[in-house]
Each structure stands twice: as structure tokens, then as C-alpha cells.
Amino acid sequence: MQEEILLQMKGIDKKFPGVLALNGVDFTLRKGEIHALMGENGAGKSTLIKVLTGVYQKDGGEISLEGQNVSIKSPQDAQNKGISTVYQEITLCPNLTVAENMFIGRENGSWIKRKEREKRADEILGGLGIPARSTQQLGDCSLAVQQMVAIARAVDMNCKVLILDEPTSSLDDKEVNMLFDLMRDLKSKGVGIIFVTHFLEQVYEVSDRITVLRNGELVGEYPVEKLPRVELVSKMMGKDLDELSTLGEHEEKKTIVNDVLYEAEGLSSSEAQPFDFSIRRGEVNGFTGLLGSGRSESVRAIFGADKVNGGTVKIKGEQVKVTKPIDAMKHGIGYLAEDRKRDGIIAELSVRENIILALQVMNGMFKPISRSEQEAFADEYIKVLNIKTASRETPVGSLSGGNQQKVILARWLLTHPDYLILDEPTRGIDVGTKLEIQKLVLKLAEEGVSVTFISSEVEEMLRTCSRLIVMRDRRIVGELKGKDLNQTQVMKTIAGGEA
Amino acid sequence: MKKNNKKFLSGGLGQLTIPLIAIALLFIFNLIRDPGFFSIGISHNNDGNAVLAGNLISIINGASELAVLAMGMTLVTAACGGQDISVGAAAAIAGSVFVKVLKSGSGISGGTVLLAFVAACIVAMLFGTFNGVLVAVFKIQPMIATLILYTCGRSIAYWINGGATPTVSSHIITAIGSFIPGIPIPTPVLIVALVAILFKLLFHFTSLELFTQSVGINGSAARLNGINSTFIKLLSFIILGVCVAVAGTIGVSRLSLINHETLLLDVEMDTILAVAIGGNSLGGGKFKISGSIIGAYVIQMLTTTLYAMKVSSTDVKAYKAIVIVLLVVIGSPVVKQRFGKLLERISSKKKITVKGAEE
């Protein structure tokens, strides 16, 4: 490995009103290294990245790039200095072609002729082994390829430092591997890569070094082979991780015999193929499968989130019609959607308003919950779920991802559902909050609430669910329970065929 | 100090800061220009009633139709993220219906006026529904959807009274358009207050405000929380319809006649402007009705000030535009953010010095 220092950040301070977001943080990136930046939400990862990319101006400290002191004034400035970022959400234009996306907004970009531009784009894509054609509409490519195009764009702009902010959170395993190959390729070309992610396995698969932040301070920098996984987690959380293991030993729940709460037969929607499904009172089950296997679409059909096409639904033994969300809510079903930003939070409204929203909708427009009651509800759930917010009147959009998720959980808990559907409740949130949510699920089940839990982390589902429904290619291909509930069996069923 | 800054930036009281400052500046400017500008006197009108008179009264009075329309427009803007540009034309229709019903009987009693107003309301709500269906059901851009009624509205108004511009003479109509005997405050001002109170009550006794904001900020999430966003959008247009009928009725009553060509001509743009000056995002979402009312008064005060300065009516629009550009730029997120940063820097500097002193 080359040991040449590419980027050095020293004693970086960043203050926000009332908070010291970064307190004397050091960070060093060498040439040709993949450096994982780890920390829980609120640890200061994003702030550090934003200082580095010129989104924020640092309040103290120094940044040097290849030995030269630099000050980074704006994202554009960062890009010109060779620091590029590929964000979690793709920030390119889906309705332009791949080639156009690669050259848009760049100096000289518009001067290159279309044919020439496409030729160059194909060369770059080919060189990096990215499976896309320059003339394709970007929106037609898979998310993984879109991300790779964004990386290719950065590489072509002579980037020395490439920041990947949660690049894998919407990718399936195969796509993650493609991305990793690309990252290793760039590494061998001398690019320094800063890799921000919540997935521990991925850190260990691809990184060379790990820097851990906690509460805006540097915990330490470690070569990856010197930091076992458990230690990393405890460094991130600042406490020992006994809790995780005890949770793992959660015994098979003795569910009440045959007390079926919800039952669907041949349920289908505009997005989901017909399927049968049932859940008992106090049961926690899960849908698993690769991205695009139809797991989200199926639970959306249960909630009436997409246009329901057919099937019979029985709740508590009675046949009912659930064609839109309000029907499901009136029958005691709550649904935490997969995409928190798009389908969950009302960003500009306060924590209080976000918490009472679903209950208010169920009560109807003409029975408003009084202000004092709203405040009492909000305070209660802020306390119960340990939501970190400046006040109940803070706009929910300014909270961290994990706390936003808790607000939405609070919203549904407040409706006292019989059946709660949680689609990826732990995506993109920190380990501590993940654990809290898993515990909450088990506690709800003990209280007799049925829960359907979806997560792309199989371990998490094995820990919480007593039954797993496996989907592949938009169909249910298996159901696992009891001693079949283990990682190998799940993988086998997902993969299917030659087991 | 810091808390105040935050509030200032994140809506709440802050949303009203700029329109209030604008009003204050116009006030001060006029006071310097003419210390007697805002003096309020008591005069006797043609009916021999003692009534309040003065520039301030005429400003508040003159802005009545605008204020009523701006309130309804705020709701449409918040729910749909777009504006209704047909309010002027729709008001001409409502006014025509109002006169048509008044003229249909033999005499004009309180009952006929009420009937005429209800008829105007129903018709305006129907046209509101038409706009609302185009926007909420067919998902047409509000400005395009309402362009239809904007284009044909005054023709429809023309047909209602057979192309004539009939006058109505009744003391009740005069009372609506100017003063109720014994009350020194112009009736349109009272009507604005009444409409504002009705909105306040509407928001107090229903969750319309929360639902409208949810639909405007994040329609997808609102739907998944069981809110019927189509209905909320439609409802906003229907409520605006009522406002249109009220504005049309005031307009007709002021002149005791309906002129479908000139009644509330070009009011739609001023209405949208009032909503914007009030600090409401024209892209929908969070809103404050009070902001839009203040916005309406800012516009009217500006116009009156310019006329008082003997600016010719052709030039008024140009001067108005200059002031509005200033207001809108100052109210823009970019300037607010810069200003917020500046405040932050000042306050943090202060803190450091305080800290230093302590040490």
C-alpha cells in the first residue's frame, strides 16, 4: 500500500448554534486507500464530509491536500481541487442520457460535440467496467449503475479524493459487489476513497482503515485488521455490546394458538402479484428477498398503499375491504413506509404535528385533537422513544435520520394499532437506534400487537421474527420458521433452485 | 437572542416580520412626507351618518376585496402549490349572479339580498369545484387549469345579465358597499374581519390547517397517512369560491352596479402577490393567513401612497413594481439565510467576548 498522504484534516472545529458539531477532529487519507468513516448518527460524519466538500465552512483547524494548505470555499471549489462526492441520493438528472450526465455542468463540457462526448463516455465506462451505454437514459439504468455513472463522472474530473456517502443502502448484494470492484479498481489507480456506511460487513470487506467519530470527536484511526467488529461497534456506541447478544437469544415466542388477526387470500395490487398471507395476534413475521423481489410491494398491498386489484381480506375473522390507506388504518393497521423522506415525514411540520398526524386523520377532520392533548402526546412519545429533538416544535426535517424514524414510529404507536407493518425501519440509522427499534418490536409483540418487519439485514430479521416469508421475482417462494430460521436456510431459499 | 433568531428564520413569527416591516416603513415614510397623512377624522356622509374618514380608513377599506381573496388564495396555494388566476373573472360571474337575483324580484329586501348572496356563493363554489377538479383529479397545473376560467369568465358574466351593466339601488346594497347607519367603520372592513374570524374558527374546529399543510409539503406521505389529498385540494378551491363570492358582492355593492368588464380587473395578480408578500411559499406547504391579509394591506397602502404623491395612474404600476421587487428579494430564502448567518456571527462574537470577560 502506498503510504503517501493525500489529504490531512487537522483539529477541525465546526459550531452550530448551541452545538459543537466537530471538536478538534483529525482525519488523514492516504493515496490508494479506502478509508471507512464510522460513527452513529450525530457523531459528526456528515458534518466532517460537508466541511471537506465546502458545504460548510470550518470554524477552526486546517486542511491540506497533497501537502498544500487549502481552504475550500464551495462545493464547486472542492470539485475543482479534486474532491468529489457521490451521495446516497443520486443527484444526477434521470431524464438525460448517461453521456450528458457525465459532462453536464463541467467546464468545457458543453464545447465537446455530442458524438465525441458519447465516445469518450463509453471509453470511460468501458475502462471502469461499468455496464452502461452512453446513449442510455440515466433513469433507465438501475440505481447501482446510476451511482457508478456518478463515480465515473467524478473520476473523469480527475478526482483525487472520492467520497462515497452511504452508496450501498439502496443496492442489492450483486450490485454492492459491482460497486466494490469499481472501488478497488480506483484504489489501485491511486484515488483515496472515503467510505461512509452503516453496514459493518461492507466496511470489513472493502476498507483498509477505519476512523471512528463519536459526539463530534475523534475516537481513533485503526487499520481494519486491528479492529475486530465488536470493538468497532463498542467504540462507535461508547459502550459494551452485551445488549446485542442478549437480544439475539430471544426465544421462540409462544404465539397464541391460531388467533389469526389478519388474513389475505389472492391479494394483489397494481404493483404486487396475487399472494396469500396471514398473521396471528402478537406474531412478528417478516418478508425477505432481494431488492425488487416484491416484498415492499406486498406489504403496501396489505395497507392499500397502491391500487388494490383483487383478493379477499379478513381482519379478526370478518371480511373487509381495504383499498386505500385510511381503510387499513380504520381496521387497526399502521404502516411505516420504506422511504422515510418521500413517504414518511412531513419535513417542515413540527415533531408534534408529525406525531399526531395519523391519529388526527383517523379521528377525522372535524374532531381536532386539542393543542394541549397534542403536546401531551408528543412529550410522551419523545420520552418513551427517547427522541432527540430541541423541542416538540422543531421541524422534523432538521432531526437526524434515526430520530425522524422514531417520530414516524411514534405516529403509528399513537394510533394503537393491532397490526404494525414496518418496512425497513432501520435503514440508514445508527446501531443504537436499530437496537432500540428491534427491542420495541419485541415489546409490542408481547403486548399482543402483530408486527410485520422488513429489513435488508437478514440477521436483524432472524433476531426479531418468528416466521419469515421469502420472496423471489415477485412471488412468495418459501416460508421459514422454527429451526429453519437461520442465515444459511434464508440464503438458500432466496437463491432457490439447486440448494 | 439565539432563540429569537431561530424563530425569525424558521417561520412562526418570522414569517410575518417582513410584511410587518414593510407596513411600518410605509407608515413612517408617509408620516415624514405628510405628518397629517394618517389623521382620522369624523365626517358626515350623504345619509347624514357620522363615519370615520381619512387616508388610513380608505386604505383599509380599499384593500377589502383583495384581503378576502388573498385569504382563500393562501389555502389553494398551500394545498396545491399553485395559484388560481381566475379569481377576478369568477368574481365578475358571482357579482353578475348577485345582481341578477336582486333584479329578479319586485323589490329588494334583506331576504332578497341574502338569497342573492347565497346564489352568488353557490355559483362561485361550482366554478371553484370546476377548477378544483381539474387540479386535484386531473392533476393539471393550477395556473393552466384556472387559465380556462380566466379566459372565459367575463364572457360568462356578460351572458348572465344579457350584456347589460344593470344598476341596483337599495339602501341595503349601499350599506354593504359603504356604511351601515350608526356604525362608523366601513362595512367591507367589517366583512374582512368576519371572514378572517371564520377562517380562524375553521382552523380551530377542524384539522384543515394540518391536513392542508401536510398535502402541500409531502403529498405522498399525506396519502399514506390516510389523508384524501384530492378532497383537500378540491376543498381549498371551494373555499376560495366563497371568498370570490364575498369579494364580488363587496365590489358590486360599492358601485351599486355590475360591470363585468371592470369588476376586480387584474385582481388575481395582486392577490397572488399579497400571498407572497405575506411570507407564504408559492410552492405550497406551510402558510399563514394573517400574512396574506397584511400583504393585501401592504399593496393597498403602497398604491394609496403613490397616488397621494401625485404619481400618475399610468406610472403607479412601475413604482409599485420597484417596491415589490425589493420586498420579494428581501423575503427570499437566500437573503434570509445570509441575514441569519450574519446574526449568528454577531451573536457568537458577543458570546466569545462575554466568555473572555468571565475568564
pLDDT digits (tens, 9 = 90+) for B315-336: 888 888 888 888 888 877 788 7
- Rounded Cα distance between A166 and A315, Å, is 39
Domain around A118: 5-246
Beta strand pairing call for A60-65 and A5-16: antiparallel
A235 and A363 belong to one structural domain: no
- Rounded Cα distance between A160 and A79, Å, is 10
The cell 435503514 sits on which residue? A427
Pick the CATH number of B22-314 from 1.10.3470, 2.60.40, 3.40.190, 3.30.70: 1.10.3470
CA–CA min distance B136, chain A (Å): 17
A335 and A200 belong to one structural domain: no
- Rounded Cα distance between A399 and B191, Å, is 42
A286 and A371 belong to one structural domain: yes
CA–CA min distance A355, chain B (Å): 11
Residue A312 lies inside a defined structural domain of this protein: no
Residue A71 lies inside a defined structural domain of this protein: yes
Residue A255 lies inside a defined structural domain of this protein: no
DSSP assignment of A19-81, as one string?
EEEEEEEEEEEETT-EEEEE--TTSSHHHHHHHHTTSS--SEEEEEETTEEE---SHHHHHHT
A57 and A199 belong to one structural domain: yes
A79 and A187 belong to one structural domain: yes
Name the residue of chain B whose CA is nearest to A358's CA: B225
% of chain B at pLDDT higher than 90: 66
Residue A265 lies inside a defined structural domain of this protein: no
% of chain B at pLDDT higher than 70: 93
A32 and A85 belong to one structural domain: yes
Counting one residue from chain A and one from chain B, the pairs whose CB atoms sit within 8 A come to 79
The predicted-structure confidence for B284-315, as pLDDT tens digits, reads as follows 999 999 999 999 999 999 999 998 888 888 88
DSSP assignment of A426-465, as one string?
TTT--HHHHHHHHHHHHHHHHTT-EEEEE-S-HHHHHHH-
In terms of Cα–Cα distance, which of A252, A302, A259 is closest to A277? A302
User: CB under 8 Å to A109, separation ≥6 — which residues?
Assistant: A103, A117
In terms of Cα–Cα distance, which of A39, A265, A33 is closest to A165? A39
Mark yes or no for CB contact A368/B2 under 8 Å: no
Cell of A297: 410491494
Find which of A361, A374, A409, A411 to mutate to test the B interface (most B CBs within 10 Å of its CB).
Answer: A361
pLDDT of residue B3: 40
- Rounded Cα distance between B22 and B100, Å, is 41
Mark yes or no for CB contact A361/B227 under 8 Å: yes
Neighbouring-strand partners of residue A217: A214
Name the residue of chain B whose CA is nearest to A326's CA: B226
What is the full per-residue pLDDT of chain A (499 aa) written as tens digits?
Answer: 446 899 999 999 998 766 788 999 999 999 999 999 988 766 888 889 999 999 899 999 999 999 899 999 988 889 889 999 887 666 778 888 888 888 877 655 456 678 888 888 898 888 888 888 888 888 888 877 888 888 888 888 888 999 998 887 777 778 888 889 989 999 998 999 999 887 777 888 899 999 999 888 999 999 999 888 777 877 876 654 444 444 444 444 444 456 899 999 999 998 888 999 999 999 999 998 776 678 899 999 999 999 999 999 999 999 999 999 999 999 999 999 988 888 999 999 999 999 999 999 999 999 999 999 999 999 999 999 989 898 999 999 988 888 999 999 999 999 999 999 999 898 777 778 888 898 999 999 999 999 999 987 777 888 889 999 988 778 898 899 888 888 778 877 877 654 3
- Rounded Cα distance between B244 and B239, Å, is 9
pLDDT over 60 (residue B359): no
In terms of Cα–Cα distance, which of B140, B158, B162 is closest to B89? B158
Q: In degrees to the nearest 10, what's the CA dihedral of B128, B133, B135, B140?
A: -130
Report the Cα B277 to chain-centroid distance in Å: 11
pLDDT of residue B24: 92
Cell of A1: 500500500
Q: In degrees to the nearest 10, what's the CA dihedral of A78, A82, A87, A91?
A: 80
Which amino acid, one-letter code, is at A351?
V
- Rounded Cα distance between A189 and A192, Å, is 9
pLDDT of residue B88: 97
Collect all residues from B whose CB is shorter than 8 A from any CB in A: 2, 5-6, 10-11, 204-208, 210-211, 213-214, 217-218, 220-228, 285-286, 344, 348
pLDDT of residue B12: 42
Mark yes or no for CB contact A335/B224 under 8 Å: yes
Cell of A412: 403509528
pLDDT of residue A221: 93
The cell 395519523 sits on which residue? A358
Residue B28 burial class via C-beta count within 10 angstroms: exposed 0-12, middle 13-18, buried 19 and up: exposed
Q: Is A301 helix (H, G, I), strand (E, B) or coil?
A: helix
- Rounded Cα distance between B182 and A456, Å, is 74
Query: Number of C-alpha atoms within 13 angstroms, CB side, residue A362?
Result: 20
Poorest-pLDDT segment among B11-25, B65-79, B168-182, B226-240: B11-25
Cell of B211: 391536513
pLDDT of residue B106: 80
Beta strand pairing call for A467-472 and A284-288: parallel
Beta strand pairing call for A419-423 and A308-315: unpaired
CA–CA min distance A17, chain B (Å): 8
Q: What CATH number is associated with residue A197?
A: 3.40.50.300
User: CB under 8 Å to B100, separation ≥6 — which residues?
Assistant: B116, B160, B161
pLDDT of residue A469: 93
Mark yes or no for CB contact A325/B224 under 8 Å: yes
Q: How many CB atoms lie within 10 A of CB B273?
A: 23
User: CB under 8 Å to A303, separation ≥6 — which residues?
Assistant: A322, A325, A328, A333, A335, A421, B224
Please provide the average confidence, as pLDDT, over all residues in chain B.
89
Residues of B in contact with A410 (CB under 8 A): none
A343 and A455 belong to one structural domain: yes
Cell of B269: 395578480
Four-residue CA torsion sign, B215, A303, A297, B234: negative
Instruction: Judge contact between A471 and A288, C-beta under 8 A.
Output: yes
Residues of A in contact with B218 (CB under 8 A): 342, 345-347
Mark yes or no for CB contact B218/A411 under 8 Å: no
Length of chain B, in residues = 359
Four-residue CA torsion sign, B109, B111, B115, B117: positive
- Rounded Cα distance between A415 and A149, Å, is 43
A42 and A179 belong to one structural domain: yes
| Nearest CB partner across the interface for A326, out of B213, B218, B226 | B226
- Rounded Cα distance between B191 and B335, Å, is 36
With 0.80 as the threshold, say if the pTM is over it: no
Q: Is B126 helix (H, G, I), strand (E, B) or coil?
A: helix
Cell of A241: 455490546
Which amino acid, one-letter code, is at A28?
T
- Rounded Cα distance between B19 and B70, Å, is 14
Give, in order, the Cα–Cα distances in Å from A107 to each of A82, A112, A439, B193: 14, 10, 52, 57
| Nearest CB partner across the interface for A346, out of B11, B204, B218 | B218
Q: Domains of chain B: which residue ranges?
A: 22-314
A412 and A455 belong to one structural domain: yes
A195 and A340 belong to one structural domain: no
The cell 363615519 sits on which residue? B51
A40 and A175 belong to one structural domain: yes
Angle at A363 between CA A361 and CA A368, to 5 degrees: 90
- Rounded Cα distance between A242 and A135, Å, is 53
pLDDT of residue A90: 65
A222 and A288 belong to one structural domain: no
User: What's the domain count of chain A?
Assistant: 2
Helices (H), chain B: 2-9, 14-33, 55-62, 64-80, 87-104, 110-132, 142-160, 171-177, 187-205, 208-217, 219-224, 229-255, 267-277, 289-308, 313-330, 333-358
Residue A400 lies inside a defined structural domain of this protein: yes
